[in-house]
Structure formats: structure tokens, C-alpha cells
Amino acid sequence: MFSGLGRCVVRRPWWIIVVWVVAAGAVISLAPKLTSSSDEASFLPGHYESIRAADVQEEKFPKQRNVGAIIVFERSDGGKLTAADSADVVRVSQDLQAKRTEDVQGVVPGEVSPNKLVQTSVVAMPKITDPEDTSQQDAVEQLREDLKPALDGTDLSAGITGSAAQALDERDASERAGMLVGVGTIAIIVVLLLVIFRSPIIALLPVVLIGLVSPMATGLIASANEAFDLKADSSIQELLTVVLFGVGTDYILFLLFRYREALRAGEDPRGAMVHAVERVGEAITSAAGAVIVAFAALTLSSLGMLRSMGPALAIAVFLTLLAGLTLVPAVVSLLGTKVFWPSKSWQREPHGTGFARLGTSIARRPAVWAVVSALFMGALTLGALGYKANFDLAGSSLPDDKESMVAMRDLEKGFPAGSTDPTSVYLSSTGGEPLTRARTAAFRERLAAVRGVGEVAAPRVSPDGTTASYSVILADPPASDKALSTLKDRLRPAAHDAAPDGSEALVGGTTAVYVDINKAVDRDYSVVFPVAALAIMVILGLLLRSLVAPWYLMLSVALGFGATLGATSLIFQQLGDQPGLMFMLPVIMYLFVVALGTDYNILMVSRLREEAREGRDPHDAAGTAVRHSGPTIGSAGVILAGTFATLMLAGNSTLSQMGFSLSFGIVIAAFVMAAVFTPALTALIGHAAWWPGHGDQKRNGAGGAAPPGPEEEERARRAPRTG
């Protein structure tokens, strides 16, 4: 099949290129655009308590204002606020409200703190349901500009904090980082390809080809949204670009290395490309299949964001696979050996390379290498036991000198830290009878008695009298571990228990959403990961015609994942000062480390099977596979790891965690898992690795002379050719 595909592409390269260009133009011009989603349920299903509480607010308190930001006032000299200062706070708040800034529903001055060091004004903003909507951040930016002149002539200083202010500071901090990371990604790919191949054409090939595929993928995803109601939105664009560059560069490298190997063996350029597609086609198709099912497994997630992300990324990988099997071979076959210009190194195979020595050592002592690599990954995996999820992404990633962080510290001088984003508790009559004042007062007292609760405001009762709304200020920042623990372990149970007969209590707000997301993510880990692993094992079993190999290949992937999570936990939690890792990090690691790590395993084990079919014994097959496939996997791993490592340039702890974990995970997958553990274990298991099929059976049957070993093969290659 792949041999026929290779011949078709090589015979008609211009037709293939024209078809791709026309298809790209049609898709880009005709497909709808990816839009932002305004569906609140795209984060959590409706049965979670925080979403049910939001529904109560919409129904019973449709005009309830949300705290978008907090203006924190204090005296410039650090002293206690006077009556004149409080009058200035009221005046400044009125001046800001009079500006009628878009999305600012009101600027309401609050009480002076008990110790008279701080006074606040609450900036009311509409409830935001679209994560891509930056209008509230823009409103805070305008408020900050208007606040400075409004303070002239007073003894006050002020800063703005709260969720919208933190989002603004995070956006500003990441804009320069985003540009740096984008430029760094392209630069690293180009520079590393230049070092590996010494060819500017190859260095630019992934950038140009993926630049064509990327808008096509976006258009196809948007079309699939309309056809199948997939819900993917523009928030996946950055992740989509990283996936396309990562997977696309891998497939281009796999093909070019095999093409170069065929040229060195004496094939003419066209025949070498047919040979490369034939030999690599099955491997990258299976690898892409593993990545696609890994992404598709996200449809089982309870988080709508992941459910839409999975199919979208699967579409992108499938399109990249098609390009890798058709467009890339067509372009390279047109260029021929000029693709390596000006380097001449493609004409000869280097001797004594590191992977050649590693392959020889693995062939001689597979047990030692298998045990050492397993112990290395296993030891790092122990670090994963200390993993803690962190939801306070802004607080843990923003620099301390950002205005929202400074104002937050000032706020805590006089008020509970949870003042920036109060928790909402709703007490509703289940039978439709109005709530009595005695019951609502008693319920408030019970909430106020919960440890970790700073204060509980007097209830607001709905017009029909059946629902009471309580604004609960927690003692800790809304996204902190302590706040989540307070809500999950004490506030919610207390609210449920204190609800009088014939009524129901629901706890909502930002902290409640984080608690529910944590619960949903834990559920997803127990469902999505096993299903994805099973699907990948099925693909491996079909590729290798074996029931044995898929088990230890997935064991190696699991060890690689555990080692990555463990190393990241050790670096950032134990050795660093981070309270935890970004709560979505294990899922992101799953998307890249597991899926792309399986790519490397498939490439290595496919070469192992190929060498075994040539009649080599398991040890020699492992050594030869490492010698030939090691440089391919190593180069792909270095480029991909370098690409992810650029995230660490952002100066943002969240992106630093992501960059380190992904780059470290790819290094483990390429240089430990695929290059050492998998071939060593396959050599140890021997022929049984292919049971019950005959994946290692020679193509010419059981009889016949064995092919030459690596040394004889090398001498034959160096000998002059005739005819």
C-alpha cells in the first residue's frame, strides 16, 4: 500500500502540490472562522453544584452584580484613615462611576476596615461567560488611567485588584512572553535542523509546509464544528500550532532520515523516496493513529473544553499525516538531493556515532540497560507522589510588583483575602413556600461559624421570597489551596446540613467552580487515561500483530509519564517555592508526552521488527535498530524539546512548569524510553515479543542464509559498486 502511494507521489509531484494548494485555498476561503464560545457549560456539566448555583442566580437574581474588581485605598503615609479620607474615597468612586466606562456597572464605596488602615470600593461588572472576552480587562485598564488624576489633591494612594485586574496583569505580562516564545520556537526549529542536516532548505521546510497546513486545519475544525456541533473555539489556536509544529516536524524528520539512509545505500533519489514512504509510511500512520485516538479519548472528559479540544486536535494530526505521506514526499522528490544543499554529508554514513555505540552496548547487555533505564524512570516517578494541583494561576505566576498583587497585599492589611471574589451561597425553598426571616438568619449564623470564613453579608431575598442569597467572604485568596479546602471540606457540608427542612442550599462562585473542576479532572484521569491507553494498545497490537509487545510498550510510556510528572513536582514544589503545579498540567502532559512518546516507541519498534524480519537475532536487531533509528528519534526529540523549552523564557511560573515538563518528558521519551528501554526489553523478551503472530519472521521464510551482521553490512556499503 505505502509502496504504491510512494510511487504515485514521486511520479506526479506537481499534481500533488497543486491539489494541496487548491485544497488549502478552498478550505481557507470557504470555511467558517473559529469563534469564541459563550456557553458557560463548556467548562462544567450542569449537574455540578457551582453550575446549579449559577443557574439559581440567573433565575432568581438576574440583576445581581458581580465583583469584577476591587479598588483598595490607603493613606500614602501608611496611617489610619480619617473621616476626610473616607469622604475622598466616596468622591473618587463617584467620579469613576460618572466616567461610564464600558462593562463597569457601578463603583460602590465600602466600609473602612476595622483597623482603619484600608477602605475599598467594589467595581461591579456583568457576569462573564466567555473566557476569550477581554472587555473587563480593558475596563480595568481604563479605570487605572482614570484613578491617578482622581487621587490628585488627596492623601490617598490606591490600586486595583480582583479577578479582572489579575487577568489584565497576566495578559500584559504574557504578551511580550508570547512573542518571545513564538520567535524562539521558529528559531530553535530552524537552527537545530541546520545543525543536523546543514541545509537551509530542510531547515525551512517544516516552517513553510506547516504554515500551509495550519490554516487548513483551522478551517476544517471550524467546518466540523458546524457539521457535528463540536464546540471547538478559538482558544485552541495556540495549542493547535504547537501540535502541528511538533507532530509535523517529527514526521518530516522520520521521512528525511529514511530517505537519506536509502540514498547512502545506493538508491537513486526517486527510488529512495519510494523506499522511504514504503518503510516509514506504516510507522508514522500507526503513530498518528495513536496520537489521534489519544486526543479523541478526550471526548469522554466531563469538561466541555477538553471534549471539544480532543476531536479538533485529532483533525489537525490527521491532516498533518496526509501532508507527511504526500505533500512532503512530493516536494522532496522534486528537489532530489538538492534538498540537502550545500551539505554533502548525505553521501556517506558517519562511523562511530553515539547511537552506534549505544546500539552495540544494548545488543551485548540488554538486561543491564533495561534495568538501569527502568530504575531511572521509576525513581523519578516516586516524585509524582508529592504532586499537588494549584488553581491560583495568577497569584503563583504574576510578578510581585504587578498592581493587582500589590493591591491584594494592601487589602489583606484590613480585610479577609477572599474579599476580591466572594463565594455565593443560595438557600432555596423546595416547596415554593417563602423563606422566613428566622430561618435565613439562623442559616447565616451557621455559615459565619465555619472555620475559614471571614464574614457573611446579610442575605438578599428574591422577589418571590423563595430564595436567599448570601455573599460569603473567605479568609484566604479565592483560588488558594486553603480556600478550596474551606469550601470543599467545611463550607459546603455546613451549608447542606444547615438547610432547614423543605429547602436546599447550593454553594457557587469562583472557588466553588475550582473545587468542581478539581473533581471533574480527577474523574477524567480515571476514565480518559485508561481508555486512551487501551485504544493505543489496540493500534500497537494491530501494527505488530502481537499481544505481548503492546503491554511493555505501554509500560514504558507510563514510566515516561510518571517520571515527567515526578521530576516536575520535585523541581517546582520540593526544590522550588511553588504551592503546586498547574491543575491542567497532567492532562497537557498526557496530550504531548504520552501521545508523542508513543510516536517514538512505534518508530523504534517498527525498525526492530524490520531488522528481525531480515533474519537478525533479537539482540542484533535491537542494536541495529538503535543505530539507525536512534539519530532520527534523538533529532526529533531535541527539536521538540527545544520548542517546548522556549516556554520557560516567558518568566511566568505557569508557563515555566509547562515548558519544563513537556521538554523533559520529550527528552525522556526519546532518549530513555524509545532509545534504551524499549529496544533493550525487546531484545530480552526475544521472539516471544511478537507472539502469537510472526512479526519477526524473515520475509523469505525460515530457510536461507542469514543476512550479514552489522560489521559485514558496513563493509559491503563501503565497497565500490558496479553496474
Per-residue pLDDT band for 568 (boundaries 50, 70, 90) equals very high
Of 498, 413, 395, 381, residue with least CA distance to 72: 413
Torsion angle, alpha carbons of 636, 641, 644, 645, to 10: -150
Indicate the residue type of 660. F
> For residue 68, what pLDDT is reported?
79
pLDDT digits (tens, 9 = 90+) for 455-473: 899 999 999 999 999 999 9
Q: Exposed, middle or buried by CB within 10 Å (0-12, 13-18, 19+), for 601?
A: buried
The β-bridge relationship of strands 119-125 and 66-75 is: antiparallel
DSSP result, 311-360:
HHHHHHHHHHHHIIIIIHHHHHHHHGGGGGTT--GGGS--SS-HHHHHHH
Q: Exposed, middle or buried by CB within 10 Å (0-12, 13-18, 19+), for 701?
A: exposed
Classify 144 as helix, strand or coil.
helix
Of 446, 466, 465, 72, residue with least CA distance to 456: 446
> For residue 209, what pLDDT is reported?
83
Residue 669 and residue 663: Cα distance in Å, rounded? 10
pLDDT digits (tens, 9 = 90+) for 241-268: 777 877 888 888 888 888 888 888 888 8
pLDDT digits (tens, 9 = 90+) for 368-377: 999 999 999 9
Is residue 374 within a helix (H) or strand (E), and if so which, with residue range? Answer: helix 366-382
The whole-number average pLDDT for the span 167-180 is: 68
The segment with the largest mean pLDDT, out of 149-158, 397-406, 714-723, is 149-158
> For residue 311, what pLDDT is reported?
84
Of 576 and 607, the one with more pLDDT:
607
pLDDT digits (tens, 9 = 90+) for 639-667: 888 877 877 776 667 778 888 998 899 99
Classify 654 as helix, strand or coil.
helix
> For residue 590, what pLDDT is reported?
79
> For residue 8, what pLDDT is reported?
87
pLDDT exceeds 70 at position 669: yes
Contacts of 12 (CB under 8 A, 6+ apart): none
Contacts of 542 (CB under 8 A, 6+ apart): 286
| Cis amide leading into 631 (omega within 30) | no
Residue 672 and residue 652: Cα distance in Å, rounded? 29
Residue 601 and residue 554: Cα distance in Å, rounded? 9
DSSP conformation class of 486: I
Of 632, 5, 541, residue with least CA distance to 290: 541
Backbone phi, then psi, for 157, in 5-degree steps?
-125, 155
> For residue 350, what pLDDT is reported?
63
DSSP conformation class of 701: -
Per-residue pLDDT band for 705 (boundaries 50, 70, 90) equals very low
> For residue 420, what pLDDT is reported?
75
| Cis amide leading into 342 (omega within 30) | yes
- What Rg, from alpha-carbon coordinates, does the chain have? 30
> For residue 493, what pLDDT is reported?
96
- Rounded to a whole number, what is the largest CA-CA distance in the chain? 103
Of 36, 145, 153, 150, residue with least CA distance to 101: 145
Classify 207 as helix, strand or coil.
helix
The answer to whether 319 and 205 have CB atoms below 8 angstroms apart is no
Please, what is the Cα angle at 257 between 545 and 320, to 5 degrees? 70
Q: In what order do the strands lie in the sheet with 66-75?
A: 106-112, 119-125, 66-75, 156-161
Cα 488–chain centre separation: 26
Per-residue pLDDT band for 75 (boundaries 50, 70, 90) equals very high
**What cell was used for 226?**
458546524
CA distances from 89 to 84, 94, 108, 355, 603 (A): 9, 9, 10, 70, 67
The answer to whether 425 and 506 have CB atoms below 8 angstroms apart is yes
The string over 505-515, giving b where at least 16 C-beta atoms fall within 10 Å of a residue's C-beta and e elsewhere, is bbbbbbbbbbb
| Cis amide leading into 692 (omega within 30) | yes
pLDDT exceeds 50 at position 709: no
pLDDT exceeds 50 at position 38: no
> For residue 496, what pLDDT is reported?
95
Per-residue pLDDT band for 164 (boundaries 50, 70, 90) equals confident
Residue 330 and residue 13: Cα distance in Å, rounded? 4
pLDDT exceeds 90 at position 427: yes
> For residue 236, what pLDDT is reported?
65
